[in-house]
Structure 1
Amino acid sequence: MKILLTGSTGQVGYELARSVQGLGEIVAPGRAQMDLSNLDQLRDVIRAVKPGLIVNPAAYTAVDQAEREPELAMLINARAPELMAEEARKLGAAMIHYSTDYVFDGEKTSPYTEDDPTGPINVYGRSKLAGEQAIQAAGIDHLILRTSWVYGMRGKNFLLTVLRLAQERPELRIVGDQHGAPTWCRTIADTTAHILARALADSDPHSWWSHHGGVYHLSAGGSTSWAGFTQQILQNAQLPAMPRVTAITTAEYPLPAKRPSSSILSCERLTQAFCGLPAWQDALKLCMT
């Protein structure tokens, strides 16, 4: 099967290109060949490749910048997935798409399930939710995997920012009143590959998708705050001079985009249907080894 992979230079896309090897013929155009903000180019690529599956980790992820560029965020996170889903329907193809904990408002005191009402409080979250809804409306075989606080050892992410700042400052003032689950991009990719292998092994793939498709939460086990995440990063890094971590409130660190105060995802549906997920501390340790 031909698998069209978007965003292969991004955190999750880079890991997916490795994880799904052997599950099909991977076609992973670079951004110059397939820019999600250019819908005509995107349509042309899909029609030329004729994939049996589109895997879409590419996204506009600059949460604060999205407040200043709502049209661009909506184009990449909503209109592009909508077009992919439309083209997939014409080809009889399936789609795996990645979404975010930021589709929720953060008011719930227990972990969010897939059936909880959404209510994004920033442009990024609204654009990602619109992408989910467009794929669902297309009526194609699909998986939407919502994840949270994605990090890895390449690209731009919180882990790498903390490691850089730790070399520069004696004190790190980090928000301590937002809670979620840091999730290693490789966990996302390997779990996707495991699910996809199950789908491809089924004698009736369409029946498999109709029984197992839909929305799943895919984040590491447990939860922490950004300050707690920082403490664990520094503990693992074992730097010669360890900066002090001071937990501050969201109000003390105002940003253009509002963040949910708690966006912990319940992954029970995914673990019961497919496989378990590692605790966030264990995955972080592996990532930094």
Structure 2
Amino acid sequence: MSTKVLVTGAAGQLGRDVVLLLESRGYEVLACDRQEMDITDLDQCDKVIGEFGPEVVIHCAAHTAVDAAETDVDAAYLINAVGTRNVALASEKAGAKLVYISTDYVFDGQGSQPYHEYDNTDPKSIYGKSKRAGEILVQTLSSKYFIVRTSWVYGKYGNNFVKTMLKFGQEKPVLQVVDDQKGSPTYTVDLANFLLELIGTEKYGIYHASNTEVCTWYEFTQAIFAEAEEILGLKFTAKLEPCTTEQFPRPAPRPRNSVMEHLSIRTNGLQDLRSWREGLKSFLLELKV
């Protein structure tokens, strides 16, 4: 009997890689996107999750339009809070372990030290506040949960920073990239592998999972160009310039410090993720295929 896993947000950037990895390892997967299960409908969640009877639910579905959330507050909370509550209730009823994918945005991003799992949260954006609301609901309603906070996610499926920079680097004469926000870029495949290890345990709780080591967005872009020239043979014409957050005002505040300490991974004896640069190389090699 193979383990049954239901994945929400299965058409999304992380969800796609999670589904592909699970299927390749012989899990029985029900990949749910909006068409298969509307997470904002409690009855539908009950029905779909109840009928499939998963041992694990990996909840990747989320409202991630950070700037749009500032004006459409209801939509952010409907998906990230109410939707998560619905998935948590239905998963609990089915006796399933629940994995909730969260974000570095639950912190204020103003601290000088990396944030660990038990630091006080203090989100500044509506996106961060709605994701924190989802965390609280998971903690309240689930008896077997993993909350996995990640940062700066990119992968083969969907739009992301790496793909945008690859495009702009070949099109624009000058490219200004923020150099005063630091974090850890995370490759979806590496995160999916970590989730796979996690669901095989009963080491419930909150985890910070990103590729290791730290850079700014500007340093990340420098690395993207350098690695893509070598791996993909691309030529970049754009002149890369560092700039400040203030030079690019956005509706939602961005954390200056998105660096997360992987305390729970270490204390639970789990395999940490590799460095972000190694993850980036693997991603570019995947694009090459």
Q: How does 1:58-97 map to 2 (within 5 A)?
A: 58-97=61-100
Q: Give the equivalent residue in structure 2 for 1:20.
A: 22
* Structure 1 position 32, deviation (Å): 1.2
1:164-215 per-position Cα deviation (integer Å, ceiling 9, x unaligned): 1112102111111111100001111011112223x2xxxxxxxxx2xx1000
CA separation in 2, counterparts of 1:247 and 1:56? 36
Deviation at 1:23, TM superposition (A): 5.5
What TM-score, normalized by structure 2, do the two folds share?
0.92
Task: Tell me, in whole angstroms, the C-alpha distance in 2 between the residues paired with 1:179 and 1:79.
Answer: 31
1:114-193 pair list within 5 angstroms: 114-193=117-196
Q: Give how far 1:272 is off.
A: 4.1
Q: Distance in 2 between matches of 1:102 and 1:78?
A: 15
Question: What is the CA–CA distance in structure 2 between the aligned matches of 1:264 and 1:288, rounded to whole Å?
Answer: 23
2:246 alignment partner in structure 1: 251
Separation in 1, partners of 2:247, 2:31: 42
Amino acid at match of 1:284: L
Which amino acid letter does the alignment assign opposite residue 117 of structure 1? N
Q: Distance in 1 between matches of 2:207 and 2:32?
A: 27
Aligned residue-pair number: 277
2:53 pairs with one of 50, 53, 56:
50
Q: Say whether residues 1:266 and 2:261 are aligned partners.
A: yes
The Cα of 1:84 is off from its aligned counterpart by 1.3
Can you list the C-alpha shifts for 1:215-272, whole angstroms capped at 9, x where unaligned? Answer: 0100111111111111111111113243211111111100110011101000132144
Task: Indicate whether 1:242 and 2:237 are aligned.
Answer: yes
Distance 1:164 1:36, change over 3 A: farther
Match status 1:218 vs 2:220: no
Q: Deviations over 1:142-167 (max 9, x none)?
A: 11110000011220111111111112
Task: Give 5+ residue unaligned stretches, structure 1.
Answer: 200-208
Within the candidate set 5, 8, 11, 1:6 is matched to 8
Letter in 2 for 1:213: Y
- What is the letter of the counterpart of residue 87 of structure 1? A
- One-letter identity of the residue aligned with 2:280: L
Match of 2:105 in 1: 102
Greater mean alpha carbon deviation, residues 162-171 or residues 41-50: 41-50
**Residue 221 of structure 2: which of 230, 238, 243 is its match?**
230
Q: Distance in 2 between matches of 1:257 and 1:223?
A: 23
Residue 23 to residue 97, structure 1, CA distance change in 2 (3 Å)? farther
Structure-1-length-normalised TM-score = 0.92
Within 2, Cα distance between the matches of 1:49 and 1:139?
18
Runs of at least 5 residues in structure 2 that lack an aligned partner in the other structure = none
